[in-house]
């Protein structure tokens, strides 16, 4: 019988890429998610019945245990960026991660892969980094031989960072940028999925791996690169930290006052703190190359999904070419 992998967060930005890769390997894939009906797009990744979205609440032992019943490998991709409600960062990044690791060990799962983040540190500058760091500690305590992947800023067709700035660039002459001088090392989401795939197949030794792309650049330089690809000229306005905090605080307050009717999906105060810290692979850390993966440059992927933000969308290149023709 084909091997079985349970991917917690299997329909998320990264999880779907891992699911597709392991389905191609012939594995049965169980995507443990909060809303299975919204994860049905995963089913065509394999033959009938090969990929199965199921309900799971990672705050509940029984739910987590049921989702991994009979699994050979467990992968945890669940992550959140806010501190609101029951599924907050403490519940998901620390308690949820530790619960998955502990139950995986109890059930005799062969391998576990945990997705964290570069900058994870129990004493870090933001709740996101702190909870990611404590989550790693909980995973190691529960499943000592886990493979921990720490990606930098991930890019891909469904990303929420580059797409956000490209979308904002369609309006007005100015483009505000938070954390303009913070350095990042953008990594292609499918490269991170490839690392998780190798770990699932037993080709990666237990330990922590920091995953970054081939280029380190500031967020301002990243936005400028995106503007070049979408062929738009904008005046970039770096936002001072206090302005960013005020804006994020106002959005957080709006969510609190409305009882969650308004969801702050733009920027919160904790994200402002995270954006003030460099997010690059540490010197001497094991990375993609150490597990046999060549990082994909942004120029190889961004044009394939950024074209929709160009002034004329898919026809922009045609119009540019036509403008060069001589009468």
- The answer for 243, left when phi > 0, alpha when psi is -120 to 50, beta otherwise, is alpha
Q: Is 232 helix (H, G, I), strand (E, B) or coil?
A: coil
> With the CA atoms of 118, 122, 125 and 129 taken in that order, what torsion angle do they form, in degrees rounded to the nearest 10?
40
Total residues found in the chain within this entry: 327
Beta strands in 88-229 (DSSP E): 111-115, 147-151, 154-155, 174-178, 183-184, 187-188, 207-211, 217-218
| Residue 123 in domain | yes
State residue 107's pLDDT score. 97
State residue 267's pLDDT score. 87
| Residue 305 in domain | no
State residue 321's pLDDT score. 64
Counted domains in the chain: 1
**The overall pTM is greater than 0.85:** yes
Q: Is 137 helix (H, G, I), strand (E, B) or coil?
A: helix
Contact status, residue 21 vs residue 46, Cβ threshold 8 Å: no
Residue 324 CA, chain-centre distance (Å), reads 41
State residue 171's pLDDT score. 94
| Residue 27 in domain | yes
State residue 264's pLDDT score. 78
State residue 324's pLDDT score. 64
| Residue 44 in domain | yes
Q: In this structure, what token pair is assigned to residue 113?
A: 């892969």
Contact status, residue 1 vs residue 72, Cβ threshold 8 Å: no
| Residue 162 in domain | no
| Residue 145 in domain | yes
pLDDT in tens, 288-309: 999 999 999 999 999 999 999 9
| Residue 201 in domain | yes
State residue 320's pLDDT score. 67
State residue 1's pLDDT score. 62
Range of the domain at 124: 4-152+188-211+280-294
CATH of the domain at 13: 3.40.50.720
State residue 325's pLDDT score. 62
State residue 263's pLDDT score. 77
Beta strands in 77-142 (DSSP E): 111-115
pLDDT less than 70: residues of the chain: 1, 83, 260, 316-317, 319-327
| Residue 138 in domain | yes
DSSP 240-259: PHHHHHHHHHHHHHHHHHTT
């Amino acid at each position: 019988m084909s091997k079985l992998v349970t991917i917690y967060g299997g329909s998320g930005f990264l999880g779907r890429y891992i699911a597709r890769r392991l389905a191609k390997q012939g594995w049965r894939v169980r995507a443990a998610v909060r809303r299975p009906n919204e994860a049905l797009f995963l089913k065509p990744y394999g033959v009938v019945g090969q990929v199965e979205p199921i309900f799971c609440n990672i705050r509940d032992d029984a739910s987590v245990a049921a989702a991994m019943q009979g699994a050979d490998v467990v992968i945890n991709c669940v992550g959140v960026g806010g501190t609101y409600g029951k599924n907050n960062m403490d519940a998901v990044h620390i308690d949820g991660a530790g619960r998955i690791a502990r139950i995986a060990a109890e059930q005799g799962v062969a391998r576990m892969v945990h997705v964290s983040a570069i900058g994870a540190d129990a004493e870090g500058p933001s709740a996101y980094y702190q909870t990611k760091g404590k989550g790693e500690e909980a995973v190691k305590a529960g499943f000592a031989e886990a493979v921990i992947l720490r990606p930098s800023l991930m890019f891909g067709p469904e990303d929420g960072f580059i797409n956000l700035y490209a979308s904002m660039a369609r309006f007005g002459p100015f483009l505000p940028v938070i954390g303009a001088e913070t350095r990042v090392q953008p990594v292609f989401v499918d490269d991170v999925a490839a690392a998780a795939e190798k770990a699932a197949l037993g080709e990666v030794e237990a330990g922590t791996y920091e995953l970054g792309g081939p280029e380190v650049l500031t967020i301002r330089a990243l936005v400028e690169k995106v503007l070049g690809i979408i062929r738009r000229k904008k005046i970039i306005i770096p936002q001072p930290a206090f302005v960013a905090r005020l804006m994020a605080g106002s959005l957080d307050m709006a969510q609190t006052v409305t009882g969650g009717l308004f969801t702050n999906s733009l920027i919160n105060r904790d994200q402002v703190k995270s954006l003030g810290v460099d997010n690059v692979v540490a010197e001497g850390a094991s990375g993609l190359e150490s597990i046999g993966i060549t990082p994909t440059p942004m120029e190889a992927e961004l044009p394939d999904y950024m074209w929709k933000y160009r002034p004329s969308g898919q026809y922009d290149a045609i119009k540019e070419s036509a403008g060069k023709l001589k009468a």
